[in-house]
């Protein structure tokens, strides 16, 4: 059976149930009361982590690292719940987390963290992360990180990666028209930007959580500080999308008339 060294990169984002309001402060743009907002692991990165854990369990000897650039205090809070979902070794970078950081600057901090991992075999390396992000949606950080690490085999919008006995992987990437492109990777290293994948959220496992936190707490204490200054990025204005709702309650309207009005409404947009 093949053995993989999987590095999952994932940042923290505010809980989606919170109201987010952009404000400009002395350090640039951020979110109002950002330090008080509860955080979660980015949902796309979470899918990548669950896929990495499943891959490692199916291939004995494989290892999974979670690399995250985030404030240590918030990362510790998120780990209390996340650690019970999947087995991983934490590599923490103490940095500002938010939706206004520069993708290249963030990728540079992550690259330094990946290069610091002891025992990482580059010939077995699979770099996982989210194809998109709930914080920026730029879709650029992971690709830039791969280039910084010299990984030229990159796959984006991945829904499935099936290992073969010879160490190759069959990879399904999303393409237009609701279809998948099937690629065959002969061997690592490679980068996979995950979409939603095919796995549900794993149930909580307290034993896995205790094992993870035993190594995660020292990793948090040793987290290297990295100040993301924005790299000269300047935003002239930031605002929430305007909400618009036009509601009309009508009874006993024929179906063809409902359909006609919907088509007319779409044509006006």
Residue 50 reports pLDDT greater than 80: yes
Residue 231 reports pLDDT greater than 60: no
CA distances from 241 to 22, 42, 65, 255 (A): 11, 21, 36, 32
Neighbours of 243 (CB within 10 A): 5
Quickly state the pLDDT bin for 8 (edges 50, 70, 90).
very high
pTM of the model: 0.79
CA distances from 140 to 73, 156, 193 (A): 26, 11, 10
Q: What are phi and psi of 2, to 5 degrees?
A: -70, 155
- Give the span between the Cα atoms of 25 and 22, in whole angstroms: 10
pLDDT digits (tens, 9 = 90+) for 152-205: 899 988 899 999 988 889 998 988 878 889 999 998 899 999 988 778 888 888
- Spatial contact of 145 and 127, defined as CB atoms under 8 Å apart: yes
pLDDT digits (tens, 9 = 90+) for 100-130: 777 778 888 889 889 988 889 898 999 998 8
What would the mean pLDDT of 247-263 be, rounded to a whole number?
A: 86
Higher pLDDT pick, 26 / 144: 144
User: The tokens 């404000």 sit on which residue?
Assistant: 23
- Give the span between the Cα atoms of 139 and 132, in whole angstroms: 5
The pLDDT of residue 53 is 92
Going by their DSSP bridges, the two strands 22-25 and 190-194 should be labelled as unpaired
Residue 253 reports pLDDT greater than 90: no
Domains and CATH numbers, the chain: 5-225 (3.40.50.620)
CA distances from 143 to 7, 55, 154, 254 (A): 14, 22, 8, 51
What would the mean pLDDT of 69-85 be, rounded to a whole number?
A: 85
């Amino acid at each position: 059976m093949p053995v993989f060294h999987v590095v999952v990169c994932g940042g923290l984002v505010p809980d989606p149930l919170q109201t987010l309001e952009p404000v400009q402060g002395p350090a640039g743009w951020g979110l109002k009361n950002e330090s008080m907002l509860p955080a979660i692991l980015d949902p796309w990165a979470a899918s990548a982590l669950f896929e990495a854990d499943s891959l490692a369990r199916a291939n004995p000897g494989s290892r999974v690292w979670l690399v995250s650039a985030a404030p240590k205090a918030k990362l510790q809070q998120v780990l209390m719940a996340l650690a019970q979902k999947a087995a991983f070794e934490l590599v923490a970078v103490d940095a500002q987390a938010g939706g206004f950081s520069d993708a290249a600057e963030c990728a540079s901090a992550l690259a330094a963290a990946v290069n610091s991992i002891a025992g990482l075999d580059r010939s077995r390396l699979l770099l996982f992360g989210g194809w998109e992000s709930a914080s920026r949606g730029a879709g650029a950080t992971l690709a830039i990180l791969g280039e910084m690490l010299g990984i030229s085999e990159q796959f984006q919008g991945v829904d499935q990666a099936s290992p073969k006995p010879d160490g190759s992987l069959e990879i399904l990437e999303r393409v237009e028209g609701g279809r998948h492109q099937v690629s065959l990777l002969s061997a690592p290293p490679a980068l996979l930007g995950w979409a939603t994948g095919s796995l549900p959220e794993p149930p909580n496992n307290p034993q896995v959580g205790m094992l993870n936190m035993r190594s995660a707490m020292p990793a948090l204490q040793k987290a290297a500080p990295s100040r993301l200054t924005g790299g000269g990025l300047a935003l002239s204005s930031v605002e929430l999308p305007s909400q618009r709702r036009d509601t009309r309650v009508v009874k006993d309207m024929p179906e063809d008339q409902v359909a006609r009005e919907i088509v007319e409404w779409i044509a006006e947009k």
